Structure 1
Amino acid sequence: MEEAAELAKLGSLGGGEMSRKVAEIHPKSAETIRLGAFVFERGSNRLHTAEGREVDLRSQSLEVLSVLAARPGDILSKDTLMQAVWPDTFVTDDSLVQCIADIRRALNDNRHMIVETLPKRGYRLNADASHEHKPTTLANALQAGGSRRRLVLAALILVAAAISSYYGAELWRTAPVRSRDMPRIAVLPFDDFSAGADKGYFSDAVAEGIITELARSNTYFVIARNSSFRYRDEKTDIRQIGDELGVDYLLEGSQQKIGDRLKVTAQLLDARDGSHVWANTYDQEIGDLFVVQEKIIRTLADRVGRRIERPLPQSDTAQVSALRYFLMGVADLEKDFSAAGNELLRQFSLKAIAADPSSHFGYLGMAWSYRHDAVFWHAQEPDHEEALKRAAEYADKAMLLAPDAAGVHGVRAKIHQEAGELEEALSRYDQAIALNPSDSDILVNSAGVLLNIGRTDEAIDRIKQAMGIDPFHPDWFHWDMGWALWEKNDCGAALTAMRKMSRIPSGANRMLAGIHACLGNKQEARKALAAFLKDSPGDSIGKHRKQWEKTMTPGSLDRWIKDMRFAGLPEQ
Structure 2
Amino acid sequence: MLRFAGFELDQQRAELSGADGTPIKLRPKTLEMLRLFATSGGRVLSKQELMEAVWPNVHVGEDSLFQCIRELRTALGDERRQLIKLASAGGYLLAAEVVAAPEVAAQVEVPRSAPTGEVAAMPQHASVGLRRRAMVAAVAGLCVIVVGLAVAAPVLKPDLLFRRTPPRLAVMPIVDASNDSRGTAMAAEVTGRLTDGFAKIQNISVVAPRLAAVAGGDSTAAPATSSDYELRGELQLSDQSWTLRARIIKAGSGEVQSVVAASVNADAMDAQLAQSRLAAGVGHVLARRLNEILGPSASSSARRTSSTGGDKVAVEQALASINQTTRERFGAAQAMLQKALTDDPDNLDIAVALSSLQMRGIQMVWFSPEEAVTVEAKANATLEQALRSKPNSIPVLEAYCRFLSATNHFVESLVTCARALSFDPWNGSALYLIGLGQIFLGRFDDALATFQQADRYDTPPASRWTWLLGAGMANLFMGRDEEALPWLQRSIAVTPATGRSHLLLAAAYQRSGRFEEARAAIAEGLRLRPGTTRLSVGPPMKNVSPVCIAAWERIVQAEVDAGLPEQ
Question: Which protein is bigger by CA-based radius of gyration?
Answer: 1
TM-score (norm 2): 0.48
